[in-house]
Structure formats: C-alpha cells, structure tokens
Homo-oligomer: A and B are copies of this chain.
C-alpha cells in the first residue's frame, strides 16, 4: 500500500503536468499508476495540498495554489525555523541551513498586513513589521507558525 505522503506527491506531480478538471479524472490516473483511493480521500488530499479550483480559458481546472502552500508545507516551515529574536524595530529568524529563502517566501505569502516585508540569507530571515508597535503581533503570528497552528 502506498503511503499518504507518496500518494500526495503523485497527485501534485499529476496536477503540474496535466489538465485536471474534475476529481474523477485524477482518480483514474492514480488507479492506472496503482494507487486506488476513493473520491473522499482525494478531496481531503486536495485540501491538504492546497489545491484550488481555477476557472481558466480551458474551463474548470484543478491546480496547485501558488499563493497557498497547504498543510504539509506549513508543517515543514515550522520545522525549518529554529529561533525567533527581535529588537524594537525588527525580528530575526534563524532557520535550518539553506532554508531561509523558503521560510521568508512562506511568510510573505501569509499576507499579513502587520508584516511589511522579509529578507532572507542562507539561514537567517529578517522580518520588518509595518510599524514597531506591531512587533508583538508579528511575534505571535510566528509563534503560531512554529507551534504548527498555521491556520491562526
């Protein structure tokens, strides 16, 4: 039996190489690849992965959201952040080596009005709040992230 993670990987790859306009379709493709699941499970997988229904010129199409990372990646981001430090103007995150860009990108995409922007090096992310008085609010957002309360 294939694991959930492996299956979701397959799904992501199918979505990024073919046009999928309903769940039935991808269920068949998966079956051909030896992965048999019900539509219910697929529906949940889509939710996990951050798949969205998009209305393109080709009709309805399921695609990986490029502005929403989905649950699994959010989990990953929590693991990537090591420490959070701050002064009165800005916040500095320490991350696992080589993962700062990804973390910064994720934070950008959270689209929080309290966060003006981010800059990332290799293992360090600088976060600038929209105003100093919002540092506390931003810290809260980040702490939720590392506690894996990514929906808060």
Residues on the B chain within 8 Å of A99, using CB:
73, 101-102, 105
> Does the CB pair A148–B96 fall under 8 Å?
no
The smallest C-beta distance from A10 to any residue of chain B, in angstroms, reads: 9
Contact of A104 among B3, B98, B146, B148 (CB under 8 A): B98
> Does the CB pair A76–B78 fall under 8 Å?
no
User: How many residues does chain A have at the interface if contact means C-beta atoms less than 8 Å apart?
Assistant: 38
Copies of this chain, complex-wide, total 2
Task: Compute how far the CA of A8 lies from the CA of B5 in the bound complex, rounded to whole angstroms.
Answer: 20
Residues on the B chain within 8 Å of A8, using CB:
79
- Closest-by-CB residue of B relative to A145 is B9
Residues on the B chain within 8 Å of A108, using CB:
98
